[in-house]
Amino acid sequence: MLSDEFDHTPSFKTIVHWYKRFKVGDYTLEDEERSGRPSELNLSELPRVVRTDPFQSTREMVSTLGVHSFTIESGLMKLGMKKKLRRFVPHHLEPVDRDRHVEPA
């Protein structure tokens, strides 16, 4: 019963962090700006980058989009794309695409 009540309590480390901030007079609850790459990816921009060169690696996309490679891989998974034979393709093929693959066979 007590564990249910205390599941949402902050950790001791979090309490110490906030205590130090309040002690120096910083009463804001917003996070401070951080430097570095953005962790969010514009999912509407990613398909455009893949269509321009489907053979490019995620490392090459990093320089184009300016985000971490894990962020790009996560975005590709959200869009349902996978790398097959060194090329990014949709994970689930549409019926038109499936028919196009069957015709040459």
pLDDT in tens, 5-45: 667 788 999 999 999 999 999 888 887 777 666 667 888 88
Distance in Å from the first CA to the final CA of the chain: 64
Q: What integer best gives the mean pLDDT of the chain?
A: 80
Q: What is the pLDDT of residue 24?
A: 94
Q: How many residues does the chain have?
A: 105
Give yes or no for a contact between 81 and 90, defined as CB atoms under 8 angstroms apart.
Answer: yes
**Band of residue 3 on the pLDDT scale cut at 50, 70, 90:** low
More confident residue, 2 or 95: 95
Q: Is the dihedral of CA 43, 64, 74, 96 positive or negative?
A: positive
Q: Hunting for tokens 């990014």 — which residue is that?
A: 88
More confident residue, 32 or 90: 32
Of the candidate CATH numbers 1.10.10, 3.90.220, 1.20.120, 1.10.3470, the domain formed by 2-26+41-91 belongs to: 1.10.10
| Mean pLDDT, residues 61-85 taken together | 84
